[in-house]
Structure 1
């Protein structure tokens, strides 16, 4: 991990509020909270001087850089779990009137996952949210994670970013975007980043982009209501606050950047506790949430903790006392150990831990599915393609496999070559990406399957769509142009004629986006 010098830390403190919006995936220190005098905030729902289009452009510009960052991760299993929390929260915000139709249509409403082990989440302009695997790995329930996501979602729906920026009329969207990109550049080249913040602009950014205490309280209040509307237990808000408060005294190493951008206060905690007391307590469940404990283990392993920590999972899994631990603990350790062993290139040990794990989750459908997905994943990585397909076939999917199963199935079938099963998988995946055009990984897997079938034109078009989904306009143009060249060299008929016309239209659209991007520089 990147280490910051004292001079660089001082510089980052000077632009702390930008870190609130876009902390670098490397463990750069998060911003110090800026205490400001209470200001008269616009009432809920009141507009901002910054247009929705301008805010979305800033967010798109930041997201383009995050997608290119080596620590960006698109893990189908984790992504599905996060989406199972995010979508109900967005729907809850809409149901409560916090999210109007125009805002829902114009903003992205996407989550960008980073491998960073620090505990952090952050709202971005234009409906994006950043989430570190470190946060997923420390929350003890889905409700705690949902509470953080609801809070950040409320920063977006209440347009706190735009309202902060709008207090300074001369702060242009281009200037804001450039400053935020400067923070991103700092993780790679501090010298280039400093060139972007010359002229005293950092001080202006700091004063205008830090969320005020009023905004934090508003995000608490709205987020609590949205979370409750979405069906989550609001006790998760209170327990998460308590956890962060306990961690704040131990946060000198910066492992909890969330505490610096969202400092806990007795007032905020008391407010949440008071709201909780007004609700009818929910009956406590004795059933462990095995799905969540599996997700925390997966997040910890995929955050690349290092060889020593990976080996510690093996020692814990081999501990004779593990069998006397609660079921959730056993599942957490064995799942993590199986995944860790693969990372250590010990597939036989990974299989042994997987065999011990399987009977523990037989009575939990969600957990059993996740273990089967892990079995398929490990088999695929060991080039046991038939074993991967066999593990996938044991998961009840119905006529439409879910995204993790679908991607895994098409990848395995692609490696095996053209077949009728691959035809079916490609048809299902094509339907998926047509409904979810922002799924860059889905388009890339589709491209591989199409190429295995010898359908070069359609494969190149899918590669272009994959690049476009991650806003790599240059890469998308390259692939669409290659598809154009292929269409001119092949005798076209039927579906290929339609595909060629789609490629022409997509290329013109991407060229327009590319020109707009050049004008922003």
Structure 2
């Protein structure tokens, strides 16, 4: 897939399944008999006998996820990733507590978020519990509550098995074919006109049937997602302000920056139901305490910084980066009203990171110091500003000034761990990095970035066999099983040619993992053959 794969995901699962409809040479069936729609338009659970098996749906999702990992638009940014997880994990916990996410599905699906370097405003759900978030969305929302509203909605698409229901309607298609066709729809983003022409050509009835069914699902996801986000502790007003943004974009006919509107079309029913839920929630909500108001202000401060980071990392272009720097330079005082301080935090953060992207590290450090002064008194924001200082030195290619004070064993977050690991590697302290990362990957075996840094740490210590195995585990974490198997076999060959290059334990681990991955690759090949 090409550079604009993220734009293809902007069509979301609805667009992908529309591609399935076109290729099926027949209109999509209506909702199965016996399924009634209530006044709210929500769909009840259809039962396992009418849904795609969880294992089959996960295989489809894994196939798509493997392609996302290899796409240039995929970005594993630890700082933004940690921030999004502070929103995502409470939503997951609330969904389980409410009974929306049953234990079997929680165990069998991935529940993994992808960040995509795309400036358009979009988020989407994919088969098997994979979710995508465009950096454009994070940069556009005004609060973590708005982001929680979107993520809660997407989470509910999966917990309510909407994707499974849509795929089940294409009963003649095997999981392999469905996965391949969804990937085809995503790849078609490089030629949107051709894709849209294919969809429109002679299949208007099928498309309309799909859209009508989708709107029922959208209303159900609105209802369930609202309950999930409020139970997770987020402010329900985030739903209202997010709807206002979408309505405004809809009124100006969407200039293309809101693909979320195309895959999640607004209807009068959805808007009315959302407004009714908001009104009821506001009537029943107790007055917030002074501590809660202070916590909310600190959360907005941190969100302003993370939204700014998303805007810079979305590759807006040199002119936009220069504009961010110029705006930051106009900020001369930190002693402003609270609301203005929040805005300044985002402006200074964007300016510092943009200056670093433009290789003006002196200015970047100056703006970061202003940001740290502004963030004093806000522990989370101050820590985030400190990580930015560390990152600036790494981008400049110098050993960070703070490296002497780093105790990586006390890293409190993934972002701290990975940035501190990079700083210590630059300072030649590879053994400390290796020891800490080995503990981390034991608890987080799907962390590809940590495995890759561990490979560097081992390589710097001339532990080449361990470095190759860590590299293999990083590839396996991103579902590149063939690549991982090749690396493990290379490690085995190195041990055979130089028996002293690894001890017995390391050699046994490599042999065991080689057998596991070889079996997995063969099983996948057999499953693909059966699905065909």
- What is the TM-score with the length of structure 2 in the denominator? 0.84
How far residue 91 of structure 1 moved from its aligned partner, in angstroms, is 1.1
Q: 1:375 and 1:3, CA in 2 relative to 1: closer, same or farther beyond 3 A?
A: closer
> What's the CA shift for 1:276?
2.7
Who is 2:473 aligned against? Answer: 465
1:119–1:258 Cα contact (<8 Å) kept: yes
Query: How far is the alpha carbon of 1:168 from its aligned partner?
Result: 3.3
Call closer, same or farther: CA 1:340–1:327 in 2, change over 3 Å. same
Residue 393 of structure 2 corresponds to 379
Aligned pairs (5 A) from 1:264-279: 264-278=266-280, 279=284
Question: Counterparts of 2:177 and 2:202 in 1: how far apart (Å)?
Answer: 13
Cα distance in 2 for partners of 1:87, 1:169 equals 34
SS at match of 1:122: strand
In structure 2, what is the equivalent of residue 40 of structure 1?
36
User: Aligned with 1:117: secondary structure?
Assistant: coil
Distance 1:490 1:19, change over 3 A: farther
1:153 CA displacement: 0.3
* Alignment match, 1:100: 102
TM-aligned CA deviation for residue 274 of structure 1: 2.1
Residue number among 79, 88, 91 corresponding to 1:89 in the alignment: 91
SS of the equivalent of 1:82 reads helix
CA contact (8 A) 2:51 2:165 kept: yes
Query: Root-mean-square deviation (CA), in Å?
Result: 3.4
Match 1:130 to one of 121, 129, 132: 132
> How far apart are the structure 2 equivalents of 1:59 and 1:311?
39
Change beyond 3 A, Cα 1:88–1:305: same
Partner of 1:359: 373
The aligned runs of 1:43-442 (5 Å cut-off) are: 43-44=44-45, 46-47=47-48, 48-188=50-190, 212-278=214-280, 279-283=284-288, 285=293, 287-288=297-298, 289-319=300-330, 326-387=340-401, 389-390=403-404, 399-417=410-428, 419=429, 422-442=430-450
Task: After superposition, give the CA deviation of every residue in 1:277-303 in whole Å (9 maximum; x if it has no partner).
Answer: 333145272624211111000000000
State the alpha-carbon separation in 2 of the partners of residues 386 and 506 from structure 1.
40
| SS of match in other structure, 2:133 | strand
How far the C-alpha of 1:362 sits from its partner, in A, is 1.3
Conserved 8 A contact 1:150-1:224: yes
After superposition, the Cα gap between the structure-2 partners of 1:367 and 1:503, relative to the gap in structure 1 and judged at 3 Å, is same
Q: Which residue of 2 aligns with 1:31?
A: none
- Offset, 1:440: 1.0
TM-score, normalised via structure 1 length: 0.86
Which residues in structure 2 correspond to 1:488-499 (within 5 Å)? Answer: 488-491=496-499, 492-499=502-509
Cα pair distance change 1:432/1:176, threshold 3 Å: same
The whole-number CA distance in structure 1 between the counterparts of 2:131 and 2:259 is: 15
Give SS of 1:69's match.
coil
Note closer, same or farther for the CA distance 1:68–1:17 as it changes in structure 2 (3 Å cut): closer
Deviation per residue, 1:243-273 (Å, 9 max, x gap): 2112212243210011111122333223223
Partner SS, residue 397 of structure 2: coil
Provide the rounded CA distance (Å) in 1 between the counterparts of 2:312 and 2:267.
32
Distance 1:480 1:190, change over 3 A: farther
How far the C-alpha of 1:413 sits from its partner, in A, is: 2.4
Instruction: Tell me the matched-pair count.
Output: 496
Deviation, structure 1 residue 56? 0.8
| Kept after mapping to 2: 8 A contact 1:322/1:330 | no
The whole-number CA distance in structure 1 between the counterparts of 2:491 and 2:205 is 48
Out of 462, 469, 482, the residue aligned to residue 454 of structure 1 is 462
Does 1 or 2 have the higher relative contact order (CA < 8 Å, sep 6+)? 2
